[in-house]
Amino acid sequence: MYELIIGLEVHAELLTASKMFCGCRVVDSVEAEPNTAVCPVCLGLPGMLPVVNRQAIDHALRVALALNGTIHPHNVFARKSYFYPDLPKGYQISQYELPLATGGWLAIEAEDGTSRRIGIRRVHMEEDTGKSTHVGDGRSLLDFNRSGVPLLEIVSEPDLRTPDEVYAYAVRLRQILRYLGVNSGDMEKGVLRVEPNISVRRQGELTFGTRTEIKNLNSFRALAAATAYEFERQVGLLEAGQPVRQETRGWDEGRRVTFTQRVKEEAEDYRYFPEPDLPALVIPEAWIARAQATLPALPAERLAHYTGPLGLGLPEARVLVDERAVADWFEAAVAAGGAPRQVANWMTNQLFSLLNERRLRIDQVPFPPRRLVALIALVDAGQISQNAGRDVLAEMFERDGEPAAIVARLGLDQISDRDALAPIVDRILAENPDQVAAYLAGKTGLRDWFVGQVMRATRGKANPAAVNELIDARLAFPGNG
């Protein structure tokens, strides 16, 4: 029996207006015209000096705090030297011995809701490289728009044990980055890159086996699949008496296998040394305190609150916490007096389906959450039917106004008044003597048909419970009084 050991290195571009060490705009690296957001600093021209981006530090700090890391106010940038055409300076400014934060953790939940803490080894700041595109005949095109974009590296401890856990960790981390508004989480665009380090060992062994690192995974599914594949591959090698080689491997999405990319370099190959062009970055205590105080409530905390005090089921709670804007909307509705379970139900069903139809996001809902609460109250009071409620909600997307006013305008008031309904029920029964006879002869299933006729006659506005009662009273079996 073998055990799978995984540690994740995650690179997240930080959503800032300008780059890490120069004033160039950060542009969409897929959409923007190549080499339109560059300057002598990020092109690595000689004699240029870097200046640190304050916004990037603030973003990094918030992530490190959200991951429960110990912040080190004294930060030193380091040069990581290597040669690659997309790295014009010949080195990347990173952090090495003195990273922004160490020793944090991230809680992941299993399907059943049980939670486990995964250690965070370090969080450090660095800059992204340019992008090279291989166009065949050994030629490559270089785009330096991405060169110098702020990048955060988040390195976990080797605490993950299964592909499911790796998946859960990556999803949760992306969720947190989005909650903090520091990264879009768009893996296809490469703004979030997840690289698992994977090894196996015989169950019960205390030391880790030799690890491989997998690159170019562009989805969480690929991440989980590559992890599972690599487990099988390494176990196969060990079973055949062959060693696992420490190396960087790529993931072939088509063939669904990993393949050797390059034999792993050691840290000394990068010749790390303190960046002489930047002074040590000392982050004042007050800055750290402010960042801590302004952190939003994070997904795990909200999930616990929703499933605990608010009494929601786990699946529903998961849907609501997934995106911060959705969770905020839900909480605003609850704060406006909505019953949590009713609000959750209306949101995840009617509201989401209307949003889907209109291809809108939650922050584009044109009415405040308290209006949904007012609508739910109308349905609750029996003033309108559940179905009419859905129509009113749809109308709330089209026109401004309180739900009660829309109900009045659309004439959707539910008819609950028995005096109003009785003549309609009587007319339906009088018009359908055959059905009445059949019903009285025991075909009780016809009751729904009568209700349906009344609903039709009232264009859906009759209160079904009241109609049922009236029909029962009118068509009481002889023996029933």
Q: What is the DSSP letter of 16?
A: -
Token pair, residue 282, equals: 């000392």
- Binding segment (CB under 6 A) for ligand ADP, from list 7-15, 403-411, 420-428, 450-458: 7-15
Site string for ligand ADP, 179-218 (x = CB under 6 A): ------------------xxx--------x--x-------
Instruction: Write the DSSP string, 301-328.
Output: HHHHHHHTTT---HHHHHHHHSSHHHHH
Which option in Zn ion, ligand ADP, none does residue 156 bind, with CB closer than 5 to 8 A by kind?
A: ligand ADP
Return the number of the residue (42 or 343) whose C-beta is nearest Zn ion: 42
> Which residue has the CB atom at the shortest distance from ligand ADP?
7
Q: Which of 6, 8, 20, 24 binds Zn ion (CB under 5 A)?
A: 24
Token pair, residue 371, equals: 């209006």
Which residues on neighbouring strands pair with residue 250, listed in sequence order?
215, 259
The span from the CA of 105 to the CA of 116, in Å, is 10
Which option in ligand ADP, Zn ion, none does residue 157 bind, with CB closer than 5 to 8 A by kind?
A: ligand ADP
Number of residues in contact with Zn ion under rule CB under 5 A: 5
Which option in Zn ion, ligand ADP, none does residue 197 bind, with CB closer than 5 to 8 A by kind?
A: ligand ADP
Strands 212-215 and 247-252: parallel
| Phi then psi dihedrals of residue 251, to 5 deg | -110, 125
Q: Which of 7, 69, 99, 130 binds ligand ADP (CB under 6 A)?
A: 7
Cβ(130)–Cβ(160) below 8 Å: no
Cβ(150)–Cβ(118) below 8 Å: no
Tell me which residue has tokens 């934060």: 101
Residue 5 binds ligand ADP, judged by CB under 6 A: yes
**Residues 147 to 176 in contact with ligand ADP, rule: CB under 6 A:** 155-158
Strands 101-109 and 115-127: antiparallel
Helix ranges (DSSP H) in 240-339: 285-293, 299-307, 314-321, 324-335
Site string for Zn ion, 30-69 (x = CB under 5 A): ---------x-xx---------------------------
In angstroms, give the least distance from the CB of 348 to ligand ADP: 35
Cβ(200)–Cβ(231) below 8 Å: yes
Which option in ligand ADP, Zn ion, none does residue 222 bind, with CB closer than 5 to 8 A by kind?
A: none
Which option in Zn ion, ligand ADP, none does residue 375 bind, with CB closer than 5 to 8 A by kind?
A: none
Cβ(149)–Cβ(33) below 8 Å: no
In angstroms, give the least distance from the CB of 23 to Zn ion: 7
Return the number of the residue (125 or 312) whose C-beta is nearest Zn ion: 125
Binding site for ligand ADP (CB under 6 A): 5-9, 121, 155-158, 197-199, 208, 211
